[in-house]
């Protein structure tokens, strides 16, 4: 080393000693403001901690870091063969769906090799969905048992007359039982898909659960058609009698007499409580059918991107403090949203139907006959559907006022 070089090195060391401290402090400050600067744009400790705490981390820093072919080293250079994109950048592009992937498998979306949103769906499904869904169903059963213990079976208060009136024609009973039968099958096989791993595998083992799960899936996919046909039949047969009117308000004001003995508010063919059941069945039935069809035909019937677009246009997410919903969804994401929606609707639907089944069987004396033989005891009809009874027995002129 020459004397000149030595002097230069000395000068540099002095300059560093004088200015180095503030420079380092600046770097630390910068890192505190923007921790990612300290990692050269990669993942930070804060990202990892946030993710471990279940917070959402904006992945833009890596979803866009997928290399730059324009800066590829020459073919003879050290990085030439990868064309300016490292292995991790390639995998990132595959993960975030921006890779130009070619696959030999045919079929739509076969070139989606990694689907990043799948983890969120999986966590939600085995976390909140199963937990709150399970508790909702258990709470419904507990509430029904408590109701039975406190209120007991709702009896026919007056003396039985020994005569009956026709309440539901054969076609009405057929539609009801087609819907009820298919619903129960769909409910049981659907619940086995959601809770089977958790509840059935510990009970019957994996070997026995596998055929149960396969058969259940087949039943679920195919009996859905029976449910949809019955839903249309029930709608056509009963919609007119389920249009709300003023009598319903009086019925609701006394809780339909469900909570006090000897109280029998007047009602037509369907009382307000039954109208609530009817409209719940129609709205939830249509929603569960459409989301189920979307799951059966994910590439032909996507529905969430279009729904989100409409919700965004109405500004609804903003009203509840949410960011606009995604309007472009891969088929897998469509299925994930459809699966969650389908399950949430199913759980609410099953809870409502459990209450209905209770009242239509053990909960109320004389009710089952309406759907069994179709004939009900005249006294039962007087107490629960007085206006309708008068109408069918000719004791009063049929009400011709338009429904309000």
- Near ligand HEM in 183-212, by CB under 6 A: 183
State which of residues 213, 224, 267, 277 lies at the interface with ligand HEM (CB under 6 A): 277
Segment contacting ligand HEM by CB under 6 A, of 68-76, 85-93, 275-283, 331-339:
275-283
C-beta of 182: minimal distance to ligand HEM in Å?
Answer: 8
Work out whether 176 is an interface residue with ligand HEM (CB under 6 A): yes
C-beta of 180: minimal distance to ligand HEM in Å?
Answer: 3
Count of residues interacting with ligand HEM (CB under 6 A): 20
Nearer to ligand HEM, 130 or 353 (CB): 353
Work out whether 284 is an interface residue with ligand HEM (CB under 6 A): no
In this structure, is the dihedral angle defined by the CA atoms of residues 88, 89, 90 and 93, taken in order, positive or negative?
Answer: positive
Nearer to ligand HEM, 311 or 359 (CB): 359
Work out whether 353 is an interface residue with ligand HEM (CB under 6 A): yes
Name residue 376's beta-bridge partners: 165
Nearer to ligand HEM, 180 or 286 (CB): 180
C-beta of 361: minimal distance to ligand HEM in Å?
Answer: 4
**Spatial distance between the Cα atoms of 382 and 394, rounded to a whole number of angstroms:** 13
Segment contacting ligand HEM by CB under 6 A, of 292-300, 311-319, 367-375, 386-394:
367-375
State which of residues 154, 179, 200, 290 lies at the interface with ligand HEM (CB under 6 A): 179
C-beta of 174: minimal distance to ligand HEM in Å?
Answer: 13
Work out whether 367 is an interface residue with ligand HEM (CB under 6 A): yes
Work out whether 344 is an interface residue with ligand HEM (CB under 6 A): no
Work out whether 368 is an interface residue with ligand HEM (CB under 6 A): yes
State which of residues 67, 360, 366, 386 lies at the interface with ligand HEM (CB under 6 A): 360
Find out whether 239 and 256 touch, Cβ atoms under 8 Å.
no
C-beta of 234: minimal distance to ligand HEM in Å?
Answer: 6
Find out whether 67 and 93 touch, Cβ atoms under 8 Å.
yes
Work out whether 303 is an interface residue with ligand HEM (CB under 6 A): no
Nearer to ligand HEM, 166 or 214 (CB): 166
C-beta of 194: minimal distance to ligand HEM in Å?
Answer: 18
Q: Exposed, middle or buried, 282 (CB in 10 Å: 0-12/13-18/19+)?
A: middle
Segment contacting ligand HEM by CB under 6 A, of 150-158, 175-183, 211-219, 259-267:
175-183
Work out whether 356 is an interface residue with ligand HEM (CB under 6 A): yes
State which of residues 371, 378, 387, 392 lies at the interface with ligand HEM (CB under 6 A): 371
**Spatial distance between the Cα atoms of 357 and 316, rounded to a whole number of angstroms:** 36
Segment contacting ligand HEM by CB under 6 A, of 21-29, 34-42, 74-82, 350-358:
350-358
Within 10 angstroms of residue 96's Cβ, the number of other Cβ atoms is 17
Torsion of CA 177, 182, 183, 187, to 10 degrees: 150
State which of residues 361, 393, 395, 396 lies at the interface with ligand HEM (CB under 6 A): 361
- Near ligand HEM in 252-271, by CB under 6 A: 270
Q: Which residues are near ligand HEM by CB under 6 A?
A: 167, 176, 179-180, 183, 234, 270, 274, 277-278, 281, 353, 356-357, 360-361, 367-368, 370-371
């Amino acid at each position: 080393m020459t004397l000149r070089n030595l002097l230069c090195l000395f000068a540099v060391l002095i300059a560093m000693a004088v200015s180095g401290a503030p420079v380092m402090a600046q770097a630390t400050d910068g890192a505190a403001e923007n921790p990612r600067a300290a990692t050269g744009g990669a993942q930070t400790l804060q990202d990892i901690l946030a993710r471990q705490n279940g917070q959402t981390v904006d992945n833009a820093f890596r979803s866009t870091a997928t290399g730059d072919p324009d800066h590829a080293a020459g073919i003879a250079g050290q990085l030439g063969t990868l064309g300016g994109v490292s292995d991790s950048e390639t995998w990132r592009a595959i993960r975030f769906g921006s890779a130009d992937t070619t696959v030999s498998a045919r079929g739509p979306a076969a070139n989606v090799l990694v689907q990043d949103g799948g983890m969120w769906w999986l966590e939600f499904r085995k976390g909140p969905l199963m937990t709150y869904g399970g508790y909702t169903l258990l709470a419904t059963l507990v509430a029904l048992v408590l109701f039975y213990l406190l209120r007991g079976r709702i009896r026919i208060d007056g003396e039985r007359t020994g005569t009956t009136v026709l309440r539901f024609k054969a076609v009405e009973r057929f539609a009801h039982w087609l819907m009820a039968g298919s619903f129960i099958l769909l409910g049981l096989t659907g619940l086995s898909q959601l809770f089977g791993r958790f509840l059935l595998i510990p009970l019957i083992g994996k070997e026995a659960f596998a055929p149960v799960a396969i058969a259940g899936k087949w039943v679920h996919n195919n009996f859905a058609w029976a449910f949809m046909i019955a839903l249309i039949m029930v709608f056509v047969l009963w919609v007119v009698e389920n249009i709300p009117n003023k009598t319903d308000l009086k019925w609701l004001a006394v809780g339909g007499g469900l909570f006090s003995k000897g109280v029998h508010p007047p009602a037509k063919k369907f009382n307000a409580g039954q109208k609530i059941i009817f409209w719940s069945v129609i709205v939830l039935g249509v929603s569960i059918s459409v989301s189920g069809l979307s799951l059966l035909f994910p590439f032909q019937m996507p529905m969430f991107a279009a729904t989100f677009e409409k919700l965004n246009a109405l500004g609804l997410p903003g009203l509840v403090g949410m960011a606009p919903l995604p309007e472009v969804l891969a088929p897998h994401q469509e299925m994930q949203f459809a699966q969650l929606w389908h399950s949430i609707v199913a759980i609410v639907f099953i809870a409502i139907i459990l209450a209905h089944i209770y009242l239509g069987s053990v909960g109320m004396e004389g009710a089952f006959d309406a759907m069994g033989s179709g004939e009900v005891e005249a006294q039962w009809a007087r107490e629960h559907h007085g206006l309708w009874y008068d109408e069918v027995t000719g004791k009063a002129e049929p009400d011709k006022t338009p429904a309000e």
